[in-house]
Amino acid sequence: MEWRDEGIILGTRKHGETSAVLEVMTRAHGRHLGLVRGGRSRKQQPVLQAGNRVELTWRARLDEHLGTFQAEPIELNAARLIDSAIAVYALQTLAAHLRLLPERDPHAALYETLAILIEHLSEADAVGELVVRFELLVLDELGFGLDLSECAATGALEELTYVSPKSGRAVSRAAGEPWRDKLLPLPLFLQRGARQGADLKAIEDAFRLSSFFFARHVYEPRGIEVPDARSGLLMALRKFYAAQAISPRALSHGDTAA
């Protein structure tokens, strides 16, 4: 058996003395593994790095076999991202979420979204928002998507300020106010028609929102833990936003002293 497809590398692990098992997210074949002979060579190692986009040829005698990959580079993104803790943690988090999906199950929308995200992982101020949106898409692909389009109580389309932890549906400010302590906040950047970017508080609220539903529908039923990389990403984002808050004041003080 043989197929050719485009893929984004999620990770590798050693196999024997010279080979590697490559894990990729492909456009048409979902998350897929395959053996790369000589994958630990000096020639292959720069290509087989997480985040790189590659042209793949997979071969196996039977469909259920691991099979072998041949990988040719299309975009070597890893070198661009490796120096950013935010980018590295984000990429690891995205890969961990994709591992929640059945192997070889096609998810074209997730592949296309992943490709777009990788283009922007070096933009620290955009990463938090992008990762949260990816998480909501993963929940949707797993069958646990949230409905943020209208108020669950009134059908209103405006001022959707909360999310019901029971239904995963949006709730308007007016309908939710009496029960605000029992509802999850819906960050402004996730609200209908929002054009405003996300600050740190909005990102933290958004991560708590997606965390709640991942825990309820995925992590707890499967008996698995939240990916360590996700906590690392949040810590790196907090450091970035703290530095952004300090820098303007430091610059202003410096200008005054001068």
pLDDT at 253 over 50: no
75 with 129, same domain: the answer is no
Look up the domain containing 57 and give its range: 2-81
Per-residue pLDDT at 247: 60
Question: What does the alpha-carbon distance between residue 65 and residue 193 come to, in Å, rounded to a whole number?
Answer: 47
pLDDT at 189 over 80: yes
Q: Considering only CA atoms, which of 21, 89, 118, 63 is closest in space to residue 232?
A: 89
Per-residue pLDDT at 196: 67
pLDDT at 257 over 60: no
153 found inside a domain:
no
Neighbours of 83 (CB within 10 A): 9
Confidence of residue 254 (pLDDT cuts 50, 70, 90): very low
36 with 70, same domain: the answer is yes
Q: Residue 66: which CATH number?
A: 2.40.50.140
The C-alpha R_g of the chain, in whole angstroms, comes to 21
104 with 127, same domain: the answer is yes
Strands 184-185 and 19-26: unpaired
**Three-state secondary-structure class, residue 76:** coil
Per-residue pLDDT at 34: 97
Per-residue pLDDT at 244: 87
Q: What is the pLDDT of residues 21-62, one digit of tens each?
A: 999 999 999 999 999 999 999 999 999 999 999 999 999 999
Based on the structure, what is the number of domains in the chain?
2
Q: Which of 62, 81, 100 is the last residue of a domain?
A: 81
Q: What is the pLDDT of residues 158-171, one digit of tens each?
A: 999 999 999 999 99
166 found inside a domain:
no
pLDDT at 250 over 60: no
7 with 70, same domain: the answer is yes
199 with 249, same domain: the answer is yes
Q: What is the mean pLDDT of the chain?
A: 93
pLDDT at 175 over 50: yes
103 with 225, same domain: the answer is yes
pTM of the predicted protein model: 0.91
Of residues 79 and 257, more confidence is placed in 79
Question: What does the alpha-carbon distance between residue 133 and residue 59 come to, in Å, rounded to a whole number?
Answer: 34
Question: What does the alpha-carbon distance between residue 161 and residue 35 come to, in Å, rounded to a whole number?
Answer: 48
CA angle 89/93/96 to nearest 5° reads: 140
Confidence of residue 197 (pLDDT cuts 50, 70, 90): confident
Confirm if 206 and 184 have CB atoms less than 8 A apart: no
Dihedral through CA 113, CA 118, CA 122, CA 128, nearest 10?
Answer: 40
133 with 206, same domain: the answer is yes
Confirm if 93 and 227 have CB atoms less than 8 A apart: yes
Confirm if 65 and 37 have CB atoms less than 8 A apart: no
Which residue is it, tokens 């992590």? 219
Q: What is the pLDDT of residues 70-103, one digit of tens each?
A: 999 999 999 999 999 999 999 999 999 999 999 9
pLDDT at 252 over 60: no
* Residues of the chain above pLDDT 90, percent: 90
What single DSSP character describes residue 245?
Answer: H
